[in-house]
Amino acid sequence: MLRLRIQLLKPEKAQTYSHQDLIHDALVNAWVAAGATTEDIIGDGSKPWTFAALGWHRGHTGFVHTLIVSTSDPVLARLLTRFKADTIKKRRFNEEFLDFSKANISIEPDPVFPQQTQLACLFYSPLVLKDKQRSGIKKVWHSNLAECDLDGRINHRLSTLSEREVKLSILPDSLYLRANPKHSVLVNLKRFQNGSKSFVVGMQAPLIITGSEEDLRLAWYTGLGEKTRNGFGCLGLLETGVGR
């Protein structure tokens, strides 16, 4: 298990992007340069990893100064130690260019101490869960954490990925949910060369995660929910916030 912080230090300017796939593809380039195969990191059978782009948005433009990249898989963790900043680049359609070659790369410390049973977290990247009751041919995404079976959905996915039973309790901050009933965000996920686009709806809120030390660590390094490999469900510590 390993997690990196890839940060553009001031006075370097934040990089801009319009769709999240630009960041995903830049990280895929870095994975491949580090020795990963496409089967390791892309597709339904790929190994678990996630990322988050820290920064802000202005209109439809995203600004990113820090990338968090994390994996719970031992093979990918070894490859993650080989990440080089100058391989985290991507040009799309000769229009957008993401370049983290001047970034500083550091290993994030493990936040789970021996015999620890709780983590107070926030989402560095939104939690994505498909609404199975309303989804048909067209996908419908949950937009309210209070209406989701968080324990069931998250434990099922983590249990499948780890091939063992995971028993976590996920409790969003109820005061935050009352004060922010609309806590969902639309994420522009991908733009195709023909001009068509895709998006997902994610949810964000502080939360308390309770479980065994092993299960907490799995959640931290794997991420929660669906589409984690596309940059969703990446956790941060509530006490440290986002920062730069």
Give me the helix-helix angle, 213-222 and 150-162, nearest 10°: 90
> Quick check: helix, strand or coil at residue 227?
coil
Task: State yes or no: pLDDT of 238 exceeds 70.
Answer: yes
- CA distance linking residue 108 with residue 87, whole number of Å: 20
Where residue 243 falls among pLDDT bands split at 50, 70, 90? low
> Which is more confident, 241 or 239?
239
Signed CA dihedral, 69, 72, 239, 149: sign only: positive
Residues with Cβ within 8 Å of 238's Cβ and at least 6 positions away in sequence, in order, are 120, 121, 122, 206
Question: Rounded to the nearest 5 degrees, what angle is found at the Cα of 184, between the Cα atoms of 212 and 178?
Answer: 75
Where residue 244 falls among pLDDT bands split at 50, 70, 90? low
Residue keyed to tokens 């990440």: 83
Question: Could you give the residue ranges of the DSSP H alpha helices within the chain?
Answer: 21-33, 38-41, 74-80, 150-162, 174-179, 213-222
> Quick check: helix, strand or coil at residue 30?
helix
Residues with Cβ within 8 Å of 52's Cβ and at least 6 positions away in sequence, in order, are 67, 68, 124, 125, 231, 234, 236
Task: State yes or no: pLDDT of 2 exceeds 70.
Answer: yes
- CA distance linking residue 180 with residue 163, whole number of Å: 36
Tell me the backbone φ, ψ of residue 139, rounded to 5 degrees. -75, 140
User: Between the CA of residue 87 and those of 30, 37, 158, what are the distances in Å?
Assistant: 5, 15, 30
Which domains, and CATH codes, for the chain?
Answer: 2-107 (3.30.70.1890), 118-237 (3.30.70.1900)
- Bridging pattern class, strands 235-237 and 197-203: unpaired
Task: State yes or no: pLDDT of 45 exceeds 70.
Answer: yes
Question: Could you give the residue ranges of the DSSP H alpha helices within 105-167?
Answer: 150-162
Residue-level pLDDT at 109? 95
pLDDT tens, position by position, 13-38: 999 999 999 999 999 999 999 999 99
Task: State yes or no: pLDDT of 154 exceeds 80.
Answer: yes
Contact assessment for residue 83 and residue 104, using Cβ atoms and an 8 Å cutoff: no
Where residue 92 falls among pLDDT bands split at 50, 70, 90? confident
Task: State yes or no: pLDDT of 130 exceeds 80.
Answer: yes
Single pTM value for the model: 0.92
